[in-house]
Amino acid sequence: MFFEKLFSYHEKFLRPPGAVPEKEFIDRCIRCRKCQQICPYQCISPAGALHGDAMGTPVIQAREIPCYLCMKCPPVCPTGALKTDIQKADVRMGVARIDRATCLPFQGIICRACYENCPIYREAITLDQEIYPVVHPEKCVGCGICEHVCPIEPSAIVVESSASRNED
């Protein structure tokens, strides 16, 4: 039986790579969906009607489809809501956080899914004692691939969006 995840992040939008701070993003984004159209992985979808003034803005639901950092979307943004000149390693969409109460290695089950799939390989996620995953926030780009691949339901590793950090 798994542990249920009771405490988690406040659900804030994960924005495409290169997004400017959230308030400015909402202002700049003209809901043109160009980023959504160019994404080869179809990871970007528009926010729904319930989200008020954020409706129509691009959102990544990493658990469904994460950002694979192909970096095709920033250059097509016509309004600078996504910074065009950003490099893959400089992306800061958010930071992954591990819930040790559910993460399998902390329960005695060997699993390396997040570690193995992290695109900033062996840097953003390392294994403490070669068993327990640790996120290094200074390296983590927040792409959400770890959140996507985590075999536990709900994911024991979740990206906390930078959108919320920018609001603080």
d(CA 76, CA 65): 20
Contact positions with another protein (CB under 8 A) in 28-67: none
The nearest distance, CB 134 to another protein, in angstroms, is 13
| Phi, psi (degrees; rounded to nearest 5) at 91 | -60, 140
Residue 161 belongs to what H/E stretch? strand 157-161
- Using CB under 8 A, pick the residue from 113, 124, 141, 157 that binds another protein: 113
Q: Does 101 bind another protein (CB under 8 A)?
A: yes
The nearest distance, CB 26 to another protein, in angstroms, is 26
Q: Does 148 bind another protein (CB under 8 A)?
A: yes
SS3 label, residue 128: strand
Quick check: bond before 154 cis, omega within 30? yes
Near another protein by CB under 8 A, which window of 18-26, 90-98, 112-120, 136-144?
A: 112-120
Cβ atoms of 62 and 14 closer than 8 Å: yes
Question: In the complex, which residues of this chain contact another protein (CB under 8 A)?
Answer: 1-8, 68, 70, 101, 104, 108-113, 116-117, 119, 121, 127, 129-131, 148-154
